[in-house]
Chains A and B, each alone.
Chain A
Amino acid sequence: MASYEPGEQLPELRTTPDRFLTVRYAGASGDFNPIHIDEEFARSVGLPGRILHGLWSMAQVARAQTEAAGGPETLKALSVQFRGMGVLEQEVTVTSTVRSIEDGVATVAAEARQADARIIRNAVATLVVG
């Protein structure tokens, strides 16, 4: 059970996108931009290969919040910045820290990383915990 005092960390979320993850997410989300699903195209535009959808990575940040707080009703707002490129077959770690809490509503700062790259920065969640 997570503690909701300022400075406390919510449980870390770790997940490793397999090599076909972006194909499944493209179908599920409707975002078929070839930089996510076509290795040759991605390389042709200067990327190291196919990259993760930013909104999939944001969904991992959202999942870390709702799994900690107890379901879909708890997440009232989430804002993120997309920066570094996420890649396949490398573990993604979401860390979340309670910044403040008022009337049972926590403001949580979060980010998602792959090794040293922060792929979701400056995430702020509004989470009902009371």
Chain B
Amino acid sequence: MSVETRAVGKTYAPVTYAVGREKIREYANAVGETNPLYLDAEAARAAGYADVVAPPMFAVVYQSPSVMPGIFDPEVGIDFGMMVHSGQEFRWTRPVVAGEEITSTTTVAAIAERGGMGFFDFEVVSRDAGGEPVCRGTWKMIVRGS
């Protein structure tokens, strides 16, 4: 396959995600988290948080709406049917809590071709309402040759 690299550096419009208490609870239950900070608002407040805390991997929930426009961008050129999520990285500044609005911005960080496969890396920066970063993510996709 051949890949087109002109989209490298392209940045998409920011996407704001409102973090909800029940969404955190639903996510925590689906991944087997039992820490009361994620499930019980009173326990979270007793520990000094404004509301229930999102598990670190909840970053998936608030970042993925920001990554999808890049994955489906014709200029990036990913064949979704041949795509495999090959790697993932998150770097957290602090946990987010229910009631916050988190705004994520995705940039096409790299496009390359090796061994007949396409490699596509997307960088996502998520910020709180004050503009401070809470999490940075690197989403790595491989597209197998057809």
Contact = CB atoms under 8 A, between A and B. Distances in A.
Contacts of A24: 29-30
Interface stretch (B51-59, B105-113, B114-122, B124-132): B51-59
A115 interface: no
A63 B55 contact: yes
A77 B91 contact: yes
A29 B17 CA distance: 13
B57 A55 contact: yes
Interface in B82-103: 84-92, 94-95
B41 to A, nearest CB: 15
Interface centre among B54, B57, B90 (most CB of A within 10 A): B57
A63 B56 CA distance: 9
Contact of B56 (A21, A54, A78, A79): A78
A63 B33 contact: yes
| 4 nearest A-B residue pairs (beta carbon) | A79-B89, A28-B30, A59-B31, A59-B57
B78 interface: no
Interface string A49-76: 0000011101110110011000111011
B88 A63 contact: no
Contacts of B84: 82
